[in-house]
Amino acid sequence: MGNGTELPHNPAEPAPWISTKQGGARVKRRRVSWDQFSAVATLAPSLLLLGVFVYGFIAWTGYVSFTNWNSFIPTFSFAGWQNYISVFNTFRFQSDLRNIVVFTVLFILGCLVVGMALALLIDQRIRAESLFRSIFIFPMAISFVVTGVIWSWILNPQTGVNLILKAFGVKTLPTWFLSTTIVPNITLGQIQIGIPLALFAVLLAAVWQMSGFAMAVYLAGLRAISEDIKEAARIDGSGGWRMFWSIILPQLRSTTTTIVIILTAASLKVFGLVYAMTGPGQEFVTDMPSLNMFQTTFQGDQFAQGAAIAIVILLLMAIFIVPYLISTLRQGRAS
Amino acid sequence: MKLANVLKAGSALAVALSLTAASAAPAAFAAQSSDLQIFSWWTGVASSKALRSMIGVFNHEYRGVKVTNEAVAGGAGSNAKAVLASRMEAGNPPGTFQVHAGGGSLLSWVQAGDMQPLNALYQSQGWYKVFPKSLLNLLTVKGKIYAVPVDMQRGNVTWYNPGLFKKYHLAPPTTFPVFFKDAAVLKSHGVTPLALANHGNWEATLLFSDVLLGAVGPAKYDQLLTGKASWNSPGVKEAANLFNRMMSYTNSDYSALHWQQADQLVAEGKAGMNVMGDWAQGYFTTALHKKPGVGFGWAPTPGTKGTFGVVSDVFGLPSKLKDKTPTLNFLKVLGSKQGQDVFNPLKGTFSPRLDANPKLYDAYSQAAMKSFKRDRLVLVIGQGAVNPGFTNSFNNAMEIFVTNHNVSQFVSALTSAAQSNPLS
């Protein structure tokens, strides 16, 4: 490295990468290369760990999904698409795909609507604002497993909230997560396509837990909208709903995108909530790909099929995340 | 100076790497030859206490050998299974590990050539005479015995509420006609006849396994479980129809319940009967403080009198193990009368040895021991006794069958499950 004529760097001085004002062109060039080196050196450990423990294992899972390793004993002979074909041909996995799509769409809609409503209410400069903010965001601090257990008690048809409904004279009590009804019930492949009503019980718990997060992000977004724009709109005579639809909502577009992306990721890998609350459910009305993957892999010892399910989940995730990444990159370049 | 910085960065990296490497495989290379590593899922309150006492008996005879349960040290449950599999493959097996008797994981390991036969040990310890021959058959592959049974539990038991049965003059449901007669009477009095819990998606499989056993008899049942008979058969269909008929007498919220809650319904008189393995009796006596025969009654499941559904934990000898002496010594204690008499009363199970002391156990276990010695022994689906892939597919088929009651769809799902997951 150094050629001896360099200024020695002693600990009392600021580090070379901090000072940029002093020094001639020759030294500056050297400093840039030192910057690059230190950047690489700083990032290398985490890149290496990410490379091995995330991307390496994704590659490994992908490899396993094309092998015949479907028993306790590892066998790595090539199976082609066989694992994917047999997984897609099961009633259970077809149900999983239906459930995860229905769940994700309704979960995100629910969180956006509830979160926005809460944010708008809190944004009215109410008294004890921070208290309410905390109350609404607290559920997020709870583990999904705890949420699942508590809501399975609340919504248990024999013991939970139904007893209150009964006391109020409700005749036909909801069966919550025990319902096997699917609306509108169109037969496709081996399964019925539609919205399994049992999922609403799970959605109730999930939205309860995560809408506080949407609220917090929306609140930050609302506070970032400049008063000038709102003032101008007011002078132009718009208020109330008109103001919300035409001024506030368009300003919150990127906020909404952020929430949608984060919640989608949470939704596609939902496991603990369903595992603790309902399990796969009768006729797999509340089953999710992650649950299927876990049981296939660790209870059935069908490692290759489990890996195939994992890769499908990854691809589902990519469908949502990649467009977002591309658009952020474009925005980054434009600015 | 810069060189020093570079070195610093480099060494930080090295530390980070070695930390991750160290946490990934801590004890695998640290064991001394005199130590014994075991893999056991006995980590609950009662079972870990029982295991500790068994290790105590071992250490009394073999001093200075430290026994560690690697399944605890390396993370519980499915993680332990994966760790075990990778260590077996890498030629670095633990001293011994826990499996269920039957054609599940034990058979997989034997077929992979990873287990050593124990016939010589059985010979030297006189165990051929001490354990029932039909139990040893479940541990035998091609004439060679591969494991030592430590405890015994029964999978085909109907638990019932004696108060209700007395009140309505009902007979214990040992046959299907009696079961359905009892169920009709209970239903007419507003009591749920059969409490069912299926939150774990294995309880209904256990019930069906027992119904199948009662419907086709032990000989045909054995053939089905060992792949010698087709699942697409009239007997399986008959069992599926009986199961459907039983389902019309159950509570509707079974998906929300765990097995303990179903037994609680029986204990409280809200339901008449429940089918569950005899681990339920520990729940009746310990958690609900009920006396055997007074607070809860039991009978073999309908049509299975004279047959005992075996759920037994066994330990074997990995063939790639370098120093086999500590393991062989440990297996000697696991199979001994002394070890089993200490272990089983604490665990809530009973000793499968024919010379076990009945006085150590309560009224239920004494009755179960009598049946065990006399009855024909069979395996139970869903208790680690058959190919795990088959069990998983079976559970999946069951999750659909409990709701849609479609017998032909169910039977064809079982048939294809048996084809894609060989049972022998």
User: Does residue B348 form part of some domain?
Assistant: yes
- How many CB atoms are closer than 10 A to CB B19? 10
Asked if B262 and B276 touch (Cβ cutoff 8 Å), the reply is yes
Q: Which residues pair with B318 in a beta bridge?
A: B115
Same domain, B163 and B285: yes
SS3 B308: strand
Task: Summarize the confidence of residues B13-32 as an average pLDDT.
Answer: 40
Q: Which residues of A touch B78 (CB under 8 A)?
A: 294, 297-299
Cα–Cα distance measured from residue A247 to residue B44, given in angstroms and rounded to the nearest whole number: 59
Same domain, B196 and B298: yes
Task: Summarize the confidence of residues B324-341 as an average pLDDT.
Answer: 95
Q: Which residues of A touch B1 (CB under 8 A)?
A: 2, 8-10
Same domain, B343 and B401: no
pLDDT at B69: 87
A200, containing H or E segment: helix A198-224
Least confident of A16-30, A286-300, B235-249: A16-30
Q: Which residues of B touch A297 (CB under 8 A)?
A: 78
User: Does residue B344 form part of some domain?
Assistant: yes
pLDDT at A157: 83
A161: which 2 tokens? Answer: 């909230």
Same domain, B117 and B69: yes
pLDDT at B206: 95
User: Does residue B59 form part of some domain?
Assistant: yes
Same domain, B280 and B393: yes
Residue A94 has pLDDT above 70, yes or no: yes
A30: which 2 tokens? Answer: 């050297």
Least confident of B76-90, B300-314, B377-391: B76-90
Same domain, B318 and B387: no
Which of A49, A158, A301 is opposite residue B253, by nearest beta carbon? A158
Percent of chain B with pLDDT over 70: 90
Burial status of residue B184 (CB atoms within 10 A of its CB: 0-12, 13-18, 19 or more)? exposed
Strands B271-275 and B192-195: parallel
Render pLDDT for B342-365 as a digit per residue (tens, 0 to 9).
Answer: 999 999 899 999 999 999 999 999
Same domain, B174 and B274: yes
Render pLDDT for B260-282 as a digit per residue (tens, 0 to 9).
Answer: 999 999 999 999 999 999 999 98
DSSP 8-class letter at A90: S
DSSP 8-class letter at B291: P
For this complex, say whether ipTM is above 0.85: no
Domains plus CATH for chain A? 1-64 (no CATH), 91-334 (1.10.3720.10)
Cα–Cα distance measured from residue B47 to residue B25, given in angstroms and rounded to the nearest whole number: 26
Residue B1 has pLDDT above 50, yes or no: no
- Helix spans in B90-231 (H): 105-111, 119-125, 127-130, 133-137, 162-167, 176-188, 203-225
Cα–Cα distance measured from residue B160 to residue B267, given in angstroms and rounded to the nearest whole number: 8
pLDDT at B77: 56
Cα–Cα distance measured from residue B263 to residue B275, given in angstroms and rounded to the nearest whole number: 9
Residue A78 pLDDT class (50, 70, 90 cuts): very high
Q: Which residues of A touch B251 (CB under 8 A)?
A: 158
Residue B385 pLDDT class (50, 70, 90 cuts): confident
Percent of chain A with pLDDT over 90: 47
Q: Which residue has the tokens 């066989």?
A: A82
Contact B256 A73 (CB under 8 A): no
Cα A93 vs. chain centroid, distance in angstroms? 21
- Helix spans in B324-378 (H): 325-335, 337-347, 363-374
Same domain, B361 and B286: no
Residue A30 pLDDT class (50, 70, 90 cuts): low
Residue A33 pLDDT class (50, 70, 90 cuts): confident
User: Does residue B3 form part of some domain?
Assistant: no
Render pLDDT for A228-264 as a digit per residue (tens, 0 to 9).
Answer: 888 888 888 877 788 888 888 888 988 998 899 899 9
Render pLDDT for B89-120 as a digit per residue (tens, 0 to 9).
Answer: 888 999 999 999 998 889 989 988 999 999 99
pLDDT at B73: 60
Interface test with B, best of A299, A302, A309 (most B CBs within 10 A): A299
Q: Which residues of B touch A9 (CB under 8 A)?
A: 1-2
Which of A37, A71, A283 is opposite residue B108, by nearest beta carbon? A71
Q: Which residues of A touch B252 (CB under 8 A)?
A: 157, 175, 178
User: Does residue B232 form part of some domain?
Assistant: yes
Residue B8 has pLDDT above 80, yes or no: no
Give the range with max mean pLDDT: A225-229, B190-194, B346-350.
B190-194
Residue A24 pLDDT class (50, 70, 90 cuts): very low
Q: Nearest residue on chain A to B110, judged by CA atoms?
A: A73
Sheet holding B157-160, edge to edge: B192-195, B271-275, B157-160, B297-300
DSSP 8-class letter at A52: I
Same domain, B138 and B173: no
pLDDT at A281: 87
Task: Summarize the confidence of residues B162-167 as an average pLDDT.
Answer: 96
Task: Summarize the confidence of residues A22-38 as an average pLDDT.
Answer: 65
Total number of domains constituting chain B: 2
User: Does residue B320 form part of some domain?
Assistant: yes
Nearest to B335 by CA among B39, B125, B120: B125
pLDDT at A9: 47
Which of A42, A70, A156 is opposite residue B256, by nearest beta carbon? A156
- How many CB atoms are closer than 10 A to CB A86? 17
Which of A2, A178, A278 is opposite residue B2, by nearest beta carbon? A2
Provide the domain limits for residue B168: 154-310+380-420
Higher pLDDT, B76 or A128: A128
Same domain, B164 and B126: no
pLDDT at B79: 67
Same domain, B295 and B321: no
Q: Look at phi and psi of residue B328 and say left if phi exceeds 0, alpha if psi is from -120 to 50, else beta.
A: alpha
pLDDT at A328: 76
- How many CB atoms are closer than 10 A to CB B17? 14
Residue B21 has pLDDT above 80, yes or no: no
pLDDT at B17: 39
Asked if B251 and B265 touch (Cβ cutoff 8 Å), the reply is yes
Residue A31 pLDDT class (50, 70, 90 cuts): low
Higher pLDDT, A4 or B187: B187
A231: which 2 tokens? Answer: 């003032």
pLDDT at A183: 85
Cα–Cα distance measured from residue B233 to residue B224, given in angstroms and rounded to the nearest whole number: 10
User: Does residue B12 form part of some domain?
Assistant: no
**Domain CATH for B176:** 3.40.190.10
pLDDT at A198: 92
The per-residue b/e assignment along B399-408, b for 16 or more CB within 10 angstroms, e otherwise, is bbbbbebebe
Chain A closest-CA separation from residue B370 CA (Å): 33
Higher pLDDT, A11 or B197: B197
Task: Summarize the confidence of residues B392-410 as an average pLDDT.
Answer: 93
Sheet holding B313-316, edge to edge: B67-69, B36-39, B96-100, B313-316, B147-149
Task: Summarize the confidence of residues B192-221 as an average pLDDT.
Answer: 94
**Average pLDDT for chain A:** 86
Chain A closest-CA separation from residue B17 CA (Å): 8
Name the CA dihedral angle for B354, B304, A282, A184, rounded to a multiple of 10 degrees.
160
User: Does residue B408 form part of some domain?
Assistant: yes
Looking from the CA of B9 toward its CB, the CA atoms found within 13 Å total 16
Same domain, B90 and B206: no
The residues, ordered by sequence, that sit 6+ positions from A231 with a Cβ below 8 Å of its Cβ are: none
Percent of chain A with pLDDT over 70: 90
